[in-house]
Structure 1
Amino acid sequence: MRRLFLGLFLLFIGALAFWAYPLLGPAVRQGALPSREGLRAPLTLLVYGSSPEYSGYHQRAPERFRGLADTILLVRLDPVANRVVVLSIPRDVWVNLPGYGWHKVNAASPLGGPALMKEAVARITGVQADRYLVVSTEALRRGVDALGGVRVCVEKPMRYRDTAAGLDINLEPGCQVLDGKKAEGYLRFRKDALGDIGRIQRQQAFFHALKEQVLSPSGLLRLPRAVAAVEPYFQTDLSREEKGAILGFAMKQPHLMSLLLPGNFGGGGWNVDEEALRQLLAVYFDGEAPGEKGELTGRLVALVYGPGQEALVEKARLRLSELGLRVILHPVDLPPSRTEVLENGPGLLAQALGEALGVPYRISGEAVLGADLTLRLGEEAPFL
């Protein structure tokens, strides 16, 4: 019995060493072993993707993390609330860059690197990031492939080709597992009516799908390989201690909330709604209480549905009208995967409608633009 126990123990140790071995290199280079305490206080990160640079036609230049900023995220890591708040900033927001004049925010990266990016985002939001993390697009491909792909519901056909940039997007609608190349196409596609805003909304949906994949049994098994695959393709000013604290915080599985910088199209870019932004920052970055329960009467809700759901839509519209809501219909090519309420705001309205209908609700920038609330109608709608 003792020999059997010893053998099983050695087998377990061997399996654990085999699983963790890919983390050895990153741990040595980054000093990023998880801290048991995790974060002690909130930390704000500026995270953005660096587009590839080219030295000639089709010729990728060596990575120096100074390409145009692609995805721009202001991330609040809050150990008190045990949540991660991701505020997506459209790259088409105009900002007055010190020393350079008015530019779209994504130009701050090639003009002045991370320091100017932090200043640009601070001028837009009023929030000064503590640290930065810039990621090459190569990290996305390699990380997703190492995880075995990510399951995403592609809502419509996506086709686009840029031979100079080596980008060939050809995705059919439907729920499917995307490898690294297809995931990059899904996240970079913006040749539709919403342009960069639609791309941001797909990115936010992808963040949630990625989190589910990482926390799945297969994802946890592949996680060390994914970390090792991504590690050479990012640059940051985080200290070793901060990296370890963030990893320890991540192990506590904080709640993920994704938001879109409030605003509207205009002036060749994205105009910020300053009052709506102030409300978001007060709740999710400053820790203020959201206030009293939301009042639904007179609010505008976008009802999202797909082909074959017309009968359900009419019943849902009547139910929403009974609650005093104004309804606009928002048909899409692919029926939503589940019934849920979305709000790109403090969350009181989403909570009120979710509780009234008995369905889940989320704070998310995936909500339909121009509406106070979004109700996605899945195959099952318990309130009908």
Structure 2
Amino acid sequence: MTTGTAPNAATPNQPTDCAGPHFVLSRPHGTVTAHGVTGTISDPTEAVARVRAGEAIAGALPFDVREPAALTVPGRLEITSAPLPVTARPEVPAVTVRRYLPAPAEHTRRVTDAVTRLRETSLRKVVLARAVELDATEPLDHRAVLARLVAADPNGNGYSVDLGAAGDDHRGVRLVGSSPEVLIRRQGATVTCHPLAGSAPRDSDPDRDAALGRALAESTKDLTEHSYVVESLKESLAPLCSDIEVPPGPVLTTTPQLWHLGTPLRATLRDPHVSALELALAVHPTPAVCGTPTDEAMRTILAVEGGRGFYAGAVGWTDASGDGEWMVTIRCARIAADGLGVLAHAGGGIVAASEPDSELDETTTKFGTIMAALGVMD
């Protein structure tokens, strides 16, 4: 394993990582850990300026970027060439379901209403989510939850972010998750992203599992939904990138719970001063978590669900040179400051051909990543 650091100027009273680093992103190709905090930023525009001035940034962007972000200027970024090492699957206290928000019947009603709207208006896709509130019998350690998420993911995906930079009501709150979806990655002039849209549950029987994957790859509904995401990304990247390479069709990707349709995109950055953070802000939110047209889908989501906070936002880092990686914050949970309360979200893309009961089942399957990590028996 190779290790590097991306330093920032540290203040004399730089906080220690007594409760663990304030930011960790584990990926198949490496882990980035932020140590110490020399500044906190809630405005992404300020963060862009700080990166252009030669500082590194790490943290989380909310779903609605008009809300406060949770970004920090770390004293040091530690970058390794492997996923977060997990030597053992730590224990966590018992966790139980308190309630679903909304209740299942209400979610299917919302989907039914959305399908009607999709058939009657210019809205082509909207992503509707629901939440589950969970209770722990003893305070959860976010480091243990992260380790369990990373251990359960074959690619070693996982993240943990202190959301305190977003304001007093987020102080001590952690966002933990295991996202398979790359919003944007910048390495020098090379820009890549790997949107996921269209999904199907996995099955323990290999033959049935393979059949589910094949059915997803041939699903007109899911292929249409996926195409909206790819076209939106191409349009958002075009002013900033050249030579945008898009495969002729999506490929199947998997997590332990789901099959996904995914399309890896690659492009060349036009201006070397444009950072990974700026690219993330240019493409977020994609139709994979919002819908299309974006403004109409956003208005619909806010009217139906209210605010999502950091769910369906982005979590990532950008170093002083502008390189970095940002993931879509899905398959995640918000752990309260006391460690006893947990809030998780799961959503699905609704198009005119969507079936309400199937969309409800999809959210239940997507809750599985966090439920399994917390040992929840629902």
Q: TM-score, normalised by structure 1?
A: 0.27
**Structure with the larger helix share:** 1
The structure with higher relative contact order (CA 8 Å, sep 6+) is: 2
Q: Which has the larger radius of gyration?
A: 1
Q: TM-score, normalised by structure 2?
A: 0.28
